[in-house]
Structure 1
């Protein structure tokens, strides 16, 4: 008797979970077969990780992260508008430098490439072509 009660309760629970209509079973099937969305590190996190891996010698200590992560978005915007690397660093005032930190030019170009790779990879060819033409890359 006890076994029958448990079996009956399990059957009722199973029916409640699976639903009775074909429409419900289809949506339940879709919900169980679609993969979960897994988010990776943000662009800022990927950028900072790559910058740390680059180990720039012109930085005795790392610059403030807020200052550093603000640059790639601005670079990408200006590059997307058709401006050059020279324009970014000279006229637009987007050279990677702060009140208490600075970047050697060769490392500034490397930092720019890292930023472009992470934030606007479609513009990488444009930047590398310009750096090659100027003899920097």
Structure 2
């Protein structure tokens, strides 16, 4: 008998022997392996790229600048603020704009929806309701 055959036979015998064993302890189902979750900032940027927003037809702003907004939007929503408040330059001051780039109002609303979906989905229904109720989404 060659080595490979012997190892295979031994493995089969071990499996057959242990399959017949019983234990007084309940068998636990195999837990699915934890899959790493993608970074919300990276998910946000992927979604922004895939949205093909008119505001960014000439180029998407630097990721680090744009990624800074969703966590701040989530904090504002957690504090009970509205999308209207967040995007008001004088009140919330969280309108997605940089020193060398800007965003139209429609695209800003879309960015908020994307950011909420990737960073704080618990607020997604309320954000959509507010924007749809105002006729802005």
Query: Which of the five TM-score ranges fits, normalised by the shorter chain?
Result: 0.7 to 0.9
**Alignment partner of 1:86: what SS?**
helix
Q: Could you report, residue by residue, the CA deviation over 1:9-61 in whole angstroms, capped at 9, with x for unpaired residues? A: x9xxxxxxxxxxxxxxx9xx97xx44432203211111111110001111211
Structure 2 matches for 1:103-114, cutoff 5 A? 103-114=103-114
RMSD: 3.0
The count of residues paired between Structure 1 and Structure 2 equals 122
SS at match of 1:74: helix
Residue number in structure 2 paired with 1:77: 75
- In the alignment, the residues of structure 1 paired with residue 71 and residue 78 of structure 2 have an alpha-carbon distance, to the nearest angstrom, of 10
For residue 11 of structure 2, what is the aligned residue in structure 1? none
TM-score normalised to structure 2 length: 0.74
1:53 matched to which residue of 2? 50
Deviating 4+ runs (over 3 angstroms): none
Which residue pairs with 1:115 in the alignment?
A: 115
Name the TM-score, length of structure 1 as normaliser: 0.74
CA shift at 1:133, angstroms?
Answer: 1.9
1:86 maps to 84
Gaps of 5+ in 1: 11-25
The match for 1:16 is none
